[in-house]
A and B are shown apart, each in its own frame.
Chain A
Amino acid sequence: MGITNIFSGYTGEELLSIFTMQGFSSLSLFSVFLLMALGLAIIFGQMKIINMAHGEFLTAGAYTTVIMSDMVVKYMPGLLPYYFIFAIIAAFIVAFALGYIVELSLVRFLYKRPLDTLLATWGVSMILQQGFRLVFGGREDSANLPDWLMGSWYPTETIAIPLNGLFLLGTSVVVTLLVYFLLFRSRWGLCVRATVLNREMSNAVGINSKRIDRLTFAFGCGIAGVAGAVFTTIGSVSPAAGSLYIVDTFIVVVFGGAGSLLGTIFSAFGIAQLQSIMEFFLTGVLAKVFVLLSVVGILMIRPQGLRSNKVRE
């Protein structure tokens, strides 16, 4: 009804440009959601651990990037164009190590008490947040971006595609493929899936299920670290930044159907499209309300989420 009004007075070319750019921004929102959710899809989806500290692993990755960026600017300014790739790898390693330690010292005692992991990891999240605050201070930090990540690509004169959005999209595709390959095409993935389905039987056939747990948890955290590193291109990092992401992350994973990688992708795509279309045609606050209502509505009809693995109980 109001739509024709909004667009009156524009040429077809202008409208086409706007729609192209809007289409791209919903794609980059999709990449953000997907990257946030992938790590949790492994930890919550596969291992059924409610990891409330997921956001803090993301923050850890972001801070790693900021530190690398500061060091590069200080000591090796010549490397500024290239450091970002290494920062992503470093962010993975740091978050992986942190996850490994948390699993070893806390989570492994709680596999039989899934609800208690919620409380325990929430504690971890608070400890990490205050830790960040002690070390880095409360101020918003951001990384120095290489020039190739700033500004826009102009396919035509009126279409501007943000380069950081393209980078985000590329990274999320690569990471998703990597996760898919590791979970479904590698020996480790086979062991993970076997352990999830039947721990006793896996142990019986010689899988070290404790080691698999540890690696799976740490790997999920590592992916969160990668997400954190990439998010420094679109935002800032502060000690409490993780708590901004945690709610959306859980929504994407639960809505997608725990345990299904494809479900997570569908869910991230659907929520991102809905949100950015609503933001464009209505307002930011209404978009959020509408998205949450739709998620609640669909979960009432399909409690198992969009897709779920069919497993014989």
Chain B
Amino acid sequence: MGLENRNSGNVFRAGWFSLFTILALGLGLVASPALAKNPLLDKYPTAKVNTTGLAITDDVVTVGQLHSVSGTMAISETGSVEAERLAIKQINDMGGVLGRKIEIIQEDGASDWPTFAEKAKKLLVKDKVASVFGCWTSASRKAVLPIFEKENGMLYYPTFYEGLEASKNVIYTGQEATQQIIWGLDWAYKQGARTFFLVGSDYIWPRTSHKIARRHIENHLKGCKVVGEEYYPLGHTNFNSLINKIKLKRPDCIYSIVVGGSNVSWYKQLNAAGITGESLAKKNKLFLTISTTEDEILGIGGKNVAGFYACMKYFQSLDNENNKAFVKAFKEMWGDDSVIGDVTQAAYLGPWLWKYTVEKAGSFDIDKIAAASPGVEFKGAPEGYVRIHENHHLWSKARIGKMLENGQFEVLVESEDLIEPDPFPEGYK
């Protein structure tokens, strides 16, 4: 298959032979539309765009998807799987990448970090995929990173995370810590917050994030101080003592990075102890989080969180044309009940950024797309506009949303400009 196509470039040079070819091509088109293959093949012959033996043919490019669809993380990662699938479907409907349709090999990381590593190796070594969209927790990313670097693969990673990492073989489509934290704290400062109480689940992301937050509060916000910093194990369900301690310290801002099942207990008990959005607003205080998205509120119940604030780069309720089309397409594909959180949107960016990078590079080769990535833009991003930085993170905006009873956010403000990603912030380490 595709023989006619390959010859068609010589049509006007040779005589009878070409005529014959044209006839054959015409017949082929009429007889079997399936043979109407890659129109861009002349410009991008496979031998040229794939010099390292990736799984790319004249018509198909194979990519990998590596998330947990079983185990504890499945709840969170399912949204990412769905968003990536939507993006790939839309790209295919538009004609694919360099004329090649994207096919997906999906592997399950099963919420288990060694499994992630093993599956990453399988995707890169055995399947030779052109890129991988995957991972969610920092632990899973750390587990696969050495494999991506050794086997020279390309990973598009969607989650907001603690930073302190940059790799040629990873594009980070979520925010690194400073992009989410610093602007949000400045906003809280403008609202009059001078004392902050930091609360987090006990693992790397909340701890690193709070470290950055503390440095910013103590060194950059005038007259501000941290009056408490507390961590509780993942899955902890009794926050009453902590809540009393917070009441004793009377912070202007409760800054929270609690994740997972603990979230529900945390918000329910705050509510029961009389700390609600309404009661805080009366005293001109506020509750700000960087870990609660639409996805989590579905489990917590909007009633328990109404009036609290979150700092994210994306909310489902964002009012722009890109986002309206994205939300509509997402619901058409995955059901009317689905909600879209920050990370789900970031996962949607992955396949698009990869497509634009490959087109810019004119090649699928990993080295070439790694080099071509900086400067690649995605104007159709639901969050507005994003661009890849030299350090493989995204320039993106930050926004403050107020939680509503219906589980959605009211977007209050957004940063004026795109915020530069700075995974190794000076003075914050």
Contacts and interface: CB of A to CB of B under 8 A. Distances in A.
Interface of A: 6, 10, 18, 21-22, 24-26, 28-29, 32, 137-142, 144, 150-152, 154, 160, 162-165, 231, 233-236, 238, 240-241, 244, 275-276, 279-280, 283-285, 287-288
B274 A152 contact: yes
B245 A160 contact: no
B265 A234 contact: yes
B244 A280 contact: yes
B370 to A, nearest CB: 35
B240 interface: yes
Contacts of B81: none
Contacts, number: 117
Contacts of A236: 261, 263-265, 268, 299-300
Contacts of B232: 284-285
B372 to A, nearest CB: 38
A301 B62 CA distance: 64
Contact of A18 (B74, B230, B244): B244
A22 B261 contact: no
24 contacts: A10-B248, A21-B244, A29-B240, A140-B263, A142-B268, A142-B299, A144-B301, A150-B303, A151-B272, A162-B240, A162-B269, A165-B272, A233-B268, A235-B261, A236-B268, A238-B261, A241-B261, A276-B241, A279-B241, A284-B232, A284-B233, A285-B202, A285-B231, A287-B241
Contacts of B301: 142, 144
A18 B237 contact: no
Sort A-B residue pairs by CB-CB distance and give the 10 closest, nearest first.
Answer: A25-B240, A236-B264, A140-B299, A162-B272, A279-B241, A235-B265, A160-B274, A284-B232, A138-B75, A235-B237
A28 to B, nearest CB: 6
B235 interface: yes
A141 B240 contact: no
A157 to B, nearest CB: 11
Interface string B228-268: 00111101111011111101100000000000010111001
Contacts of B268: 142, 164, 233-236
Contacts of B240: 24-25, 28-29, 162, 165, 276
Interface string B202-237: 100000000000000000000000000011110111
Given A21-B247, A162-B240, A139 B75 contact: yes
B264 A142 contact: yes
A279 B75 contact: no
Given A236-B264, A284-B232, 11 more contacts: A29-B238, A139-B299, A150-B272, A154-B274, A162-B274, A163-B272, A231-B237, A233-B268, A236-B268, A275-B241, A280-B245
A140 B231 contact: no
Contacts of B325: none
Contacts of A140: 75, 261, 263-264, 296, 299-300
Interface of B: 72, 74-75, 202, 230-233, 235-238, 240-245, 247-248, 261, 263-265, 268-269, 271-274, 296, 298-301, 303
A275 B240 CA distance: 11
A240 B70 CA distance: 13
A150 B272 CA distance: 6
Contacts of B245: 279-280
Given A160-B274, A234-B265, A285 B299 contact: no
A288 B261 contact: no
A22 B241 contact: yes
B241 A18 contact: no
Contacts of A164: 268-269, 272
Given A138-B74, A139-B299, A152 B273 contact: yes
A21 to B, nearest CB: 5
B272 A152 contact: yes
A244 B261 contact: yes
Given A139-B298, A162-B273, A234 B237 contact: yes
A140 B241 CA distance: 23
Contacts of A150: 271-272, 303
B210 to A, nearest CB: 13
B300 A288 contact: no
A26 B245 CA distance: 13
Given A240-B72, A244-B237, A279 B242 contact: yes
Given A140-B264, A238-B261, A284 B75 contact: no
Nearest to A160: B274
Contacts of B265: 234-236
A283 B231 contact: yes
